[in-house]
Amino acid sequence: MTSATAETSLVFGIRTATLLIFAVQGVVVAGLLLAARRNRAANRALAGLLASMALLLTPDVIGFAGFYDRWPWLTFAPFEIGLIMGPLFYLYVDILTRGAAQPRWWRHFVAPALELAYLLACFLLPYDTKMVWADRVHEPFVAPVLTRRASRP
């Protein structure tokens, strides 16, 4: 192959290694929490939180390694569902303090489900359309809203 994407090599540097260690540790602890016999419901919520945090690191891990340069179609891969952190943490604390989740606890997961649906829809676009969407719509309008969610007072 003579295309530029086939010639791009993957780089496993210190940033990739460090983030990968953190992500793997999160996945291992999440697995241990799922296997625990006490506080099963709370441990499942905490395991989900740790697993989603590990997924949150994935774009950086693969980005520093050069995956996006080699396989640019990975743009918008739904790894980074940041809106799920709050509901999972709330669910964990709610189950710990009350012994069970509140009725209609699932309502807190509507926004993360919409974020996932948006990212999946963008991810499934043809590559050229995806890049036009990213440049003209996502970066100027959607990304500031999604990244500002945690920085508001």
Q: How far, CA to CA in Å, does 31 sit from each of 14, 35, 40, 50, 74?
A: 26, 6, 12, 9, 26
Number of domain units in the chain = 1
Rounded CA-CA distance 73/45 in Å is 32
Domain contains 153: no
Along the 153 residues of the chain, how does pLDDT read in single tens digits? 444 445 678 888 999 999 999 999 999 999 999 999 999 999 999 999 999 999 999 999 999 999 999 999 999 999 989 899 999 999 999 999 999 999 999 999 999 999 999 999 999 999 999 999 999 999 999 988 877 655 445
Give the pLDDT confidence score for residue 9 in this predicted structure: 84
Instruction: Give the E-state strand segments of 30-110 in sequence order.
Output: none
Query: What is the domain range of residue 123?
Result: 4-148
pLDDT at 147: 74
The amino acid at residue 58 is: T
- Do the domain assignments include residue 76? yes
Establish if 14 belongs to a structural domain. Answer: yes
Half-sphere exposure (CA, 13 Å, Cβ side) for 66? 11
Quick one: tokens of 60? 């950086």
- Whether 87 is covered by a domain: the verdict is yes
If you count them, how many residues does the chain have?
153
